[in-house]
Amino acid sequence: MLVQQRLLERVARLCRDDPRLVAALTYGSFVSGEADAHSDVEFWLFFGPAATPDARAWLAEVGELRHVVVNEFGAAAWGVGRDAWQQLAARHGFALPEALFQELDQRLSGPASQS
């Protein structure tokens, strides 16, 4: 089973257990059946206006959380921590340089992010 499938299952379980959630939408290569080990996971979660949870807290329930960034539409996007990236890279036979994480930390801790 791909690690992304486990992530999708965890999100589905959290969605089923959250009474504030009105609807959930998954899209992309996993839905179309074209996903592979390098595919990302996309989904939108729709909460009632009076019941919108704290994005950072909800996303932390999904998995390791490093950054939460609010996009131009007001939606929260999240990034996993360096341990998850390093494990993924190691699984595919390469290492990620520490400088990459330092640059990401600098770029993502700017005014557009919520750390």
Phi, psi dihedral angles at 24 (to 5 degrees): -135, 145
**With bands split at pLDDT 50, 70 and 90, how would you rate the model's confidence at 85?**
low
State the average pLDDT for the chain.
76
pLDDT at 32: 85
pTM above 0.75, yes or no: no
**Residue 67: C-alpha distances to residues 25, 38, 77 (Å):** 22, 21, 8
47: nearest Cα among 71, 72, 21, 65: 21
Of the chain, the percentage scoring pLDDT greater than 90 comes to 2
Q: Judge whether residue 92 has pLDDT over 60.
A: yes
* Cβ contact 37:92 at 8 Å: yes
pLDDT-derived band of residue 55, with 50, 70 and 90 as boundaries? Answer: confident
CA distance 56 to 67: 9
